[in-house]
Amino acid sequence: MNRLNGNAPSRPRIGVLALQGDFAEHIHMLGLIGITAVEVRKVQQLSEIDGLIIPGGESTTIVKLLTRFDFIDGLRSQVESGMALWGTCAGMIVIARELTDPYPTPLGLIDIGVSRNYFGRQVDSFEQELVIKGIEGAPMQAVFIRAPIVNDVGVGVETLASVQNGVGTQAVAVKNGRILATSFHPELTRDTRLHELFVELATEAANDRIRISPDITEGTPSQA
């Protein structure tokens, strides 16, 4: 990105992984808050964005496609360097540390243990109002479709929202630094507040890039 030191971008560059899943819905939601998102289909695009959303879909298929198109190392590198990341539903499964299922093999980008399809099959989908830490105003309407659950939260991972079920209270939204993961589908509602939160995380990443990138407007410093 052609960003100059001291000139913070008015909007961060956000991409949505467009290999499989409901990426179009996330792009629509971002458009509602003034963000023109990029459909990410090549690993080279990761160096051009400040935040990436991995959408809901088929987690096994997403991991296979990430592997086939050589995304894994590049994605890890960009997240380690500060890029914001958000996994929704299948995306949460993809970025988790470990799963209770033998497949797919998650990428280990956030320190959580996850159970796939925890709430049952497609016919068991439901909606529930959630109070989400960091989101002001009324509770959010959360849409759960073949949703995972967080059954193990690692050190440094903050629980933003939980649900009550037969085994107690379990997390459905978590955050660690600029990495966000949600069991549910905010992109299937009209509530843009979680997308706005992610834009804030991506803006932080954009500002960090400005601080560490060289000033391309200046020539080579003169020798003393």
E-only strand ranges, the chain? 14-17, 38-40, 51-54, 84-88, 98-99, 112-115, 126-130, 140-144, 149-153, 158-165, 168-176, 179-182
Other C-beta atoms lying within 10 Å of the C-beta of residue 189: 17
Identify whether 136 is a catalytic site residue: no
Task: Out of 25, 26, 185, 195, pick the active-site residue.
Answer: 185
Would you state the structure tokens that stand for residue 206, as one six-digit string?
Answer: 């954009």
Asked if 127 is an active-site residue, the reply is no
151 contacts 135 by C-beta, under 8 angstroms: no
Q: How far apart are CA 118 and CA 93, in angstroms?
A: 11
Buried b (16+ CB within 10 A) or exposed e, 87-119: bbbbbbbbbbbebeeeebebbebbbbbbbbbbb
Distance CA 171, CA 112 (A): 10
Could you say which of 28, 48, 80, 89 is catalytic? 89
**Catalytic annotation present for 185:** yes
The single-letter code of the amino acid at 81 is: S
Strand 179-182 and strand 84-88: the pairing is parallel
Length of the chain: 224
Tell me the C-alpha distance between 202 and 204, whole Å. Answer: 5
Which listed residue (187, 200, 204, 218) is catalytic? Answer: 187
Give catalytic residue positions: 89, 185, 187
